[in-house]
């Protein structure tokens, strides 16, 4: 049953969320945003690709979910063109069906891809609001994925789509202040039309559980990683750092569990074999939430090997906050947004210096007091500033302004051009 706990004005606002590059409810940010809106009285429908065993329609914690068959992951220019073209076409057809069956007032597009602007623009012509939820800087992510060697044409197209998405949106949601600054400088979005809603862990989900006994017996020190395994995510840096840990630091008393999958998964496994790390590394793949919490609860040290580049320097990594929520000490490269997120809850290696990364791990292996101090700082930082309940208020305030503006516009249309506007407590806010 749908929860309706807020003011009646909010219940009239119907939201259609568009998601392409992840599953629902598997995407943590989208799940938290949708659940937060429903709990506040909004009507929410999500379009997303289907995962294994997922049906075409489902209702989860009050959110309607319509799914379409996921395409095979694109490779190369034409592969990505097919993948995104297919997803946009199916999402468009489903959105028309949802418009007729349920209706919606706001189209909330989660990037990537930025091609959702085509659907947002179409529905703006029908009087709907468009919200652009800027998860990733697509041009910088493309640059990082191909180490600066990608097509200059593709990069320009991505910049153009990002610019169009930001400019056409009635409101833009940024995941951090770095993204907000980029939206203002590169895309020319006024600050009044941007709301920062950081990723933040849900402490009801991210929690310590009894350790995995089989994993605990692998070595005196367990190192944990969770996240995507794309070419831009730095797992190759981590594997080479682990080789340094053995060769240059003289430490072999560790075992590293790597949770997740991605485009680079097979090549990373091959690299681990090439570096003769098979006895020290376990690629667990994608696992359930229960298994993930068990593995991370077992870890003595957690790592974020994202290297410095124009994408990661500006991006907030949710894995950092999940480690902090569990009270785990962290080793990461010294990146600007890593500092903003973790503060003094991590040890920072020189950016992209794999040997220094290994040395920072080694410094924690024999110092349980330092590990405990870092973990306590991280947990406290999450509770006081970063957990989702703090961020949810920013999302709700942006939506209440947006939907009040929509209601005011509709009332003005109904009154006709000659009738007065009653301002009262109505707040148009950050919309155009």
262 touches 228 (CB < 8 A): yes
Pairing of strands 63-68, 57-60: antiparallel
CA distance 174 to 183: 8
pLDDT number for residue 72: 75
Residue 160 has pLDDT above 90, yes or no: yes
What kind and span of H or E run contains 49?
A: strand 43-49
Q: Is there a shared CATH topology between the 8-200+388-415 domain and the 213-385 domain?
A: yes
pLDDT score recorded for residue 53: 86
**pLDDT above 60 for 333:** yes
What's the pLDDT tens digit per position in 4-39? 444 343 447 999 999 998 899 988 899 999 999 999
> Other CB atoms closer than 10 Å to residue 124's CB: what's the count?
16
- Largest Cα–Cα distance of the chain, in whole Å? 82
The pLDDT of residue 209: 96
| Range in 80-89, 177-186, 277-286 with the lowest mean pLDDT | 80-89
Helix (H) or strand (E) holding 165: helix 152-168
Given CATH 3.40.50.2000, say whether it is the number of domain 8-200+388-415.
Answer: yes
Domain locations along the chain? 8-200+388-415, 213-385
User: What's this model's pTM, rounded to 2 decimal places?
Assistant: 0.85
C-alpha distances (whole Å) from 399 to each of 135, 167, 213, 269, 406 are: 18, 18, 45, 44, 10
CATH topology of domain 213-385: Rossmann fold (3.40.50)
């Amino acid at each position: 049953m749908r929860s309706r706990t807020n003011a009646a004005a909010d219940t009239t606002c119907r939201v259609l969320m568009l998601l392409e590059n992840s599953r629902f409810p598997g995407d943590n940010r989208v799940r938290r945003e949708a659940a937060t809106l429903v709990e506040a009285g909004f009507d929410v429908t999500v379009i997303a690709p289907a995962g294994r065993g997922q049906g075409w329609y489902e209702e989860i914690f009050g959110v309607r979910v319509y799914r379409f068959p996921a395409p095979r992951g694109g490779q190369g220019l034409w592969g990505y063109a097919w993948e995104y073209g297919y997803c946009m076409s199916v999402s468009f057809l489903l959105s028309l069906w949802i418009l007729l069956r349920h209706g919606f007032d706001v189209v909330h597009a989660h990037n990537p891809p930025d091609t959702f602007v085509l659907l947002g623009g179409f529905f703006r012509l029908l009087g709907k609001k468009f919200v652009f939820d800027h998860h990733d800087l697509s041009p910088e992510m493309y640059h990082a994925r191909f180490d600066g060697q990608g097509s200059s044409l593709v990069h320009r197209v991505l910049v153009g789509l990002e610019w169009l998405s930001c400019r056409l949106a009635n409101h833009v949601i940024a995941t951090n202040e770095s993204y907000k600054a980029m939206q203002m400088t590169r895309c020319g979005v006024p600050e009044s039309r941007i709301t920062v809603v950081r990723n933040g862990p849900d402490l009801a989900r991210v929690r310590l559980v009894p350790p995995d006994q089989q994993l605990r017996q692998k070595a005196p020190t367990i190192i944990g990683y969770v996240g995507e395994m794309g070419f831009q995510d730095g797992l190759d840096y981590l594997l080479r750092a682990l080789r340094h840990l053995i060769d240059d630091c003289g430490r072999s008393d560790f075992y590293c569990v790597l949770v997740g999958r991605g485009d680079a998964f097979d090549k990373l496994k091959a690299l681990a074999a090439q570096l003769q790390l098979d006895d020290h590394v376990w690629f667990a793949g994608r696992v359930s939430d229960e298994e993930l919490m068990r593995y991370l609860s077992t870890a003595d040290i957690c790592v974020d090997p994202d290297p410095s580049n124009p994408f990661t320097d500006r991006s907030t990594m949710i894995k950092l906050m999940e480690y902090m929520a569990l009270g785990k000490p962290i080793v990461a490269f010294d990146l600007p947004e890593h500092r903003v997120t973790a503060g003094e809850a991590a040890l920072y290696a020189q950016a992209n210096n794999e040997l220094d990364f290994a040395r920072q791990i080694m410094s924690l292996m024999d110092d349980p007091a330092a590990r405990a101090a870092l973990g306590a700082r991280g947990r406290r930082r999450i509770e006081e500033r970063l957990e989702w309940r703090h961020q949810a208020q920013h999302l709700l305030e942006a939506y209440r302004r947006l939907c009040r503006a929509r209601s005011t516009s509709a009332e003005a249309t109904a009154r006709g051009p000659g009738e007065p506007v009653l301002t009262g407590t109505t707040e148009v806010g950050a919309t155009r």
